[in-house]
Every structure is written in structure tokens, then in C-alpha cells.
Amino acid sequence: MSEATCRRELELEIPAEEVEKASEKVARDFLKVARVPGFRPGKAPVSLIRRRFAEDIKGEVLQSLVPNYFEKAVQEKKMVPVTQPHIDNINFAGQGALTCRVTFEVMPEVELKEYKSLEIEVEGLELSDADVDKTLETMRERAATFVPVEGRAAQDNDYVQVKLLGIPQGGTGGHIQADDVLCHIGGEETLAAFNDNLRGAQPGEQKRFEVAYPADYPDPKLREKSYSYAVDVRSIKERRLPELNDEFAKEVSDAATLDELKKKVRENLEAARDQRQAEQGRQRLLEKLVAEHDFPVPDAMVENQLDARLERTIRTLASQGVDPRAVNVDWVALRERQRDRAVSDVKAEILLDRVAEAEKIEVSGEEVDKELAHLAGHSGESAEALGARLTKQGSLDRMKSKLRSDKTLEWLYSNARIRTSPAAKT
């Protein structure tokens, strides 16, 4: 066994007298329910029961004795198992001493190095008037209106309102039908076939054309498929941006003037910058903490972390409407490429737990209730119902552990020495 791993083995030996006592008890329990030809229930000799059900009795004795002796052994050696024990090399003839080997993984012993005043550097982020102007322009874009155009044909930058029907060529795939769609003529997001066929169109016209969807089209259901479209042009519209003035400020915010809106925008950008710097600082703090502590981690915890990472990737794809089974990805290779990151995450989790123990950082009931209320706001159920569900699922302790880790990281961040590098423009 290598000390560079968290794998441990124990040779257990259970004395003959303990084995005999357990065997006798199990045999008598069998006697109460066993049906033996020629004997009334519960009246067969125990010796006959022990011979007739020898293998079953051995199994029951193993299950009753080994876990208890294993628990005592790990407590004596001050080990913290993180996996279920694997039992093999069993030497047990039904009588006499019982010996076996137990293999398992343990939480590593970690000697904390200096952690209270770690020094890290975060990137300085400069905010300029141009950043404020860019945000205001984005707000104008969102507040844009579409105004009907009359007396001319559709041209670039117009939005053509259409009713369309798309029929797949070759009979594969479903029809595409929409009664009210705005098509941005000349827009980067618009397929060339729509640009080419709707540019110059007039309201009341019907256009028929073919569309071949490219292999990288965002909707996987349409990739590399061809459709025949019938498109009715209903109207042509221009997109108009509002004037940047006090009226605009009142419409898009609670500001009374444009100057007040600019001030609020700058304050929000500064808060977002500070948040980004804090997140970057916490991440670099964890990276430094991990780099300064060299210890093995349980393979089981790494595998769990890899599973969780892969599951998050799949959920993200599903939330975007992409079927993970339809994506050309080597999932095994993708999972393996994240192993180093998973190992670091497990080390960080262990180190945060050790720091929390050293600093006596705990999560209060009030903090748990606050987090449940926050999560309940997104799940659409009451905090009480969510708490009961998480308890039933065995997830409440994990939530508390996450809160404790976050609280510990925040404590480390507040005690760190943070340098800011020369500011870079956002």
C-alpha cells in the first residue's frame, strides 16, 4: 500500500468465542422461522439448523460482526472512511476465528500551513465614460421601437414582417409554420436565402425559395436540412432608437434626468466590477491554498466531482434545447480532461473544511433558513416544504456543507492581503 494514496487495508481478526456466540444467536433466530421436515416449527435441534443452513448462517455472522469490528478498528486508528468497505480474503469455516481483509478509502490527514494572511493579486479594472456610454447604448437598443415603412421596398436594416410555411425537402423533418415573424434584412443572424429573397420585397407579395441550413446552425433539428419556403410579406418596419434625453431616462429607470441615469449606470458598473474582482480573488485564493498543500485525495471523491461536472454540462445543453445524445462529443474523453480540475476542487473542499474546523466556523440555523428561503423563491415552493424535501433526499447536509465552505472562503478572503495590478480597461 502506498502512503501517497488514500486507499487503506485492514486485516481483521474476530476471536473464536465472538464468532461462536454470534453463530449461536443466528442459528436460534433461524430456528424460530425455519421449516425442517419431521419437526414442528421451532422444535428442530440447533445442531441440525447449523448444518442445514450453514452458508446462510455464515453470511449473517459476517454481516453482524465485520461492520462492528471494522468501525472499532478505524476509530482506534483515527481514520475517517469515505467509501463503503470492500471485504475479501475471508477465512471463515463456520467455527473458530474469522479473518478477512477490508479495503477502503479515507479522508487524508492534512497539516494546515499558513492560511490567515495569504497574498494574492487581482486584475485592476478601469471604468471610463466610454463604458457608461456603451451601457446607455445597450439600453437604447432594448427600448427601440418598430415603425411601419410605406412607399418603398424592403432594404438592408429593415425588418420585414412575414407569415411563413417551410416544408422539408425529401419528406424528413417537421413543417415550420409561423404567422408573425420579423426578419432582419442584412442582419448577421439572418440566413443568406432570406436576405436575398426578401430584399426588394413589397407588402402583399409572396416569395417562394429554398433554404439549406448549414452544419453549424444553432438549432440541431435543422442542421444540414433543406426546406422549401412560402413567405407572405405583410409589412416593412424600421427600428428606431429613442433619443438619449431626460425622457428616455424616466422611461427606462427611476431616474429623473439623464445625468442621474448616467450616475446610476456608473454605480452599477462599479458594483459589477467589484463583484468580478472579488470572485477572481476568491478563486485565486483557493488556487494558492491548494498549491501550498500537497496531499492525496480519495479517488471516490474525485469520481463524484467528475460526475457532477459532466452532469452540469449535460443540464446546460438541455436548458439550451440541445439533446446531449445528438451532440458529437466524446463524453468519456471530456470527463477525463477535467480530472486535474476535479482533483483541485476536492483538495479545495477538504482544505476549506480543515480551516473551518480550525477557526470554529459554523453555519447558524438562521443562515440555513435564509438559504432555504432564497432557493424556495426559485423553486416555487415554500421554504418549509423545500427543507423537508431536501432532508428526505439526504441533500440538506450537503447544502449546509456548501454554506460552511462559502462562509469559510469569505473569511479567508477578508483576511487575505490583496494587491491590485495596474488597471485595464473593461
pLDDT at 107: 92
| Under 8 Å between Cβ of 383 and 376 | yes
Grouping H, G, I as helix, E, B as strand and the rest as coil, residue 243 is: coil
89 closest CA partner among 103, 105, 72, 107: 103
C-alpha to C-alpha distance for 193 and 197, rounded to whole angstroms: 6
Answer yes or no: do 100 and 210 share one domain.
no
Specify if 407 maps to a domain: yes
Q: What are phi and psi of 334, to 5 degrees?
A: -60, -45
| Under 8 Å between Cβ of 219 and 137 | no
Give pLDDT tens digits along the chain (426 positions): 335 789 999 999 989 888 888 888 877 777 777 777 777 777 777 777 777 777 787 888 888 888 889 999 999 998 999 999 998 888 877 677 888 899 999 999 899 998 988 999 988 888 889 999 999 999 999 999 999 999 999 999 999 999 999 999 877 678 899 999 999 999 988 999 999 999 999 999 999 999 999 988 888 888 889 999 999 999 999 999 999 999 999 999 999 999 999 999 999 999 999 999 999 999 999 999 999 999 999 999 999 999 988 888 888 888 877 777 777 778 888 889 999 999 999 999 999 999 999 999 999 999 999 998 988 887 778 888 888 888 888 888 889 999 999 999 999 999 999 998 876 554
* Domain closes at, from 105, 135, 167: 105
> Structural domain tally of the chain?
3
Answer yes or no: do 96 and 27 share one domain.
yes
Specify if 255 maps to a domain: no
pLDDT at 343: 94
Q: What are phi and psi of 340, to 5 degrees?
A: -60, -40
**Three cell numbers at 363?**
453555519
CATH code, 80: 3.30.70.1050
Answer yes or no: do 228 and 312 share one domain.
no
C-alpha to C-alpha distance for 326 and 332, rounded to whole angstroms: 15
Residue 82 is given by DSSP the state: -
Answer yes or no: do 168 and 82 share one domain.
no
**Which residues lie below 8 Å from residue 6, measured CB to CB, with a gap of 6+?**
82, 105, 106, 107, 108, 296, 297, 298, 299
Grouping H, G, I as helix, E, B as strand and the rest as coil, residue 38 is: coil
Q: What is the number of alpha carbons within 13 Å of residue 336 lying toward its C-beta?
A: 5
**Three cell numbers at 339?**
480530472
pLDDT at 423: 66
Give the max Cα distance, the chain. Answer: 108
Answer yes or no: do 69 and 154 share one domain.
no
How do 417-420 and 119-122 pair as beta strands?
parallel
* Domain closes at, from 240, 261, 278: 240
Answer yes or no: do 74 and 189 share one domain.
no
CATH code, 183: 3.10.50.40
**Which residues lie below 8 Å from residue 338, measured CB to CB, with a gap of 6+?**
306, 309, 310
* Domain closes at, from 214, 240, 266: 240
Answer yes or no: do 303 and 215 share one domain.
no
CATH code, 305: 1.10.3120.10
Specify if 253 maps to a domain: no
160 beta partners: 183, 236
Specify if 235 maps to a domain: yes
Answer yes or no: do 172 and 235 share one domain.
yes
- Domain range enclosing 94: 7-105
DSSP code string of 320-337: TT--GGGS---HHHHHHH
CA distances to 109, 178, 295, 341 from 3, rounded to whole Å, are: 11, 66, 10, 22
Answer yes or no: do 408 and 311 share one domain.
yes
**Residues 35, 37, 42, 44: what is their CA dihedral angle, to the nearest 10 degrees?**
-130
Answer yes or no: do 218 and 329 share one domain.
no
Specify if 192 maps to a domain: yes
| Under 8 Å between Cβ of 178 and 164 | yes
Specify if 266 maps to a domain: no
Specify if 265 maps to a domain: no
**Three cell numbers at 79?**
481514520
Residue 81 is given by DSSP the state: B
C-alpha to C-alpha distance for 318 and 206, rounded to whole angstroms: 37
| Chain mean position to CA 63 | 37
pLDDT at 2: 38
Answer yes or no: do 79 and 149 share one domain.
no
How do 424-425 and 125-126 pair as beta strands?
parallel
Specify if 115 maps to a domain: no
Answer yes or no: do 317 and 400 share one domain.
yes
